[in-house]
Chain A
Amino acid sequence: MTGSADEDRADALFHALADRTRRDIVRRVLAGEHSVSALAHKYDMSFAAVQKHVAVLERAGLLSKRRVGREALATGDIDAVRSVGSMLSEIEQIWRGRISRMDELLATDHRTGTTPDLSADPTKEH
């Protein structure tokens, strides 16, 4: 089962966005590429603290970093968030819903003793 990996990912996303500074960083880097040092100037905290926030966002897949010379440039990566994996997980939820409804419908058919072809309108039975 892949469920726990998806849960881990959701945990990382929620954790990443549970912090006001990190939400602000995400807004900025989704609007365009920012160097980590430029980001650090925006906040009343140490460069190391901002770096740490950027690292949390990077692990959650909300931004990606590239190096240019001595600078680390961060870009928002919402496409990574909507990866194929997460979309397939949502499809899985759709299927789980359908299958549980099928299960209920089959159980109802069984209890009322109808055959598959005769119960188009259950209110007309008997």
Chain B
Amino acid sequence: MPVTDVQKDMDSRTITITADFAAPPEQVWGIYADPRKLEQVWGPPTHPATFVDHSLTPGARVTYYMTGPDGEKFGGWWEIDEVDEPHSFTFRDGFADADLNPVDTAPVSENVYRFAATDGGTRAVYTSTYASAEALQQVLDMGVEEGATLAINQIDAYLAAA
């Protein structure tokens, strides 16, 4: 399995995922640098992503939306802070409305993506820090959950219907 480690820090609401890819960092970077490739990996198949504005350069604003099964659109933006191609980039990730305008009242997460060359390819370390529990919930509410959602949501839905 390419995911080799998962660290969750409850207090700082930070999740760090480590993955090993069988390709050099330049090729992994290439996925993030190419919006058409990024679309293939960012949203789950049920919520495909469309990147509208995209540039991996410091200060750039990236915009995207994901489309849910019923056509509902979930907007998001990145503001790229630091870029060290092909080793790392950092960005803030926030929510946008249907017209891709940032929602200022919505929380913003801080993200650091690092790619280091290994013998067999690339070790990628993804760190995301969420401002609050509400920020986490919004990320999940955006419809980005994978097929294997936890029992929590089903119970929630059950209780809501009860």
**Chain A residues in the interface with B (C-beta under 8 A):** 1-2, 6, 9-10, 13-14, 17, 23, 26-27, 30, 78, 81-82, 84-103, 105-107, 109-110, 115-117, 119-121
Contact = CB atoms under 8 A, between A and B. Distances in A.
B159 A26 contact: yes
Interface stretch (B16-24, B57-65, B76-84, B96-104): B16-24
Contact of B17 (A14, A95, A116): A95
Interface of B: 2-3, 6, 8, 10, 13, 15, 17, 19, 21-23, 26-31, 33-34, 36-37, 40-42, 44, 124, 126, 128, 133, 136-137, 139-140, 144-146, 148-152, 155-156, 158-159, 162
B155 A81 contact: yes
Contacts of B8: 2, 85, 88-89, 92
Nearest to A9: B151
Contacts of B30: 109, 115-117
Contacts of B44: 94, 97
A120 B149 CA distance: 31
Contacts of A91: 15, 128, 136, 139-140
Contact of A93 (B22, B136, B146): B146
B139 A81 contact: no
Contact of B144 (A2, A14, A94): A94
B152 A102 contact: no
Contacts of A9: 151
A92 B6 CA distance: 8
B146 A97 contact: yes
Given A88-B15, A116-B29, A82 B6 contact: no
Contacts of B41: 98, 101-102, 105
Nearest to A94: B144
A93 B150 CA distance: 9
Contacts of A103: 2, 21-22
A91 B136 CA distance: 8
Contacts of B27: 106, 109, 115-116
11 contacts: A2-B6, A10-B150, A13-B155, A23-B162, A85-B10, A87-B136, A91-B128, A93-B148, A95-B6, A96-B3, A100-B2
A96 B21 CA distance: 13
B18 to A, nearest CB: 10
A97 B148 CA distance: 10
A98 B158 CA distance: 28
A106 to B, nearest CB: 4
A23 B159 CA distance: 9
Contacts of A81: 152, 155-156
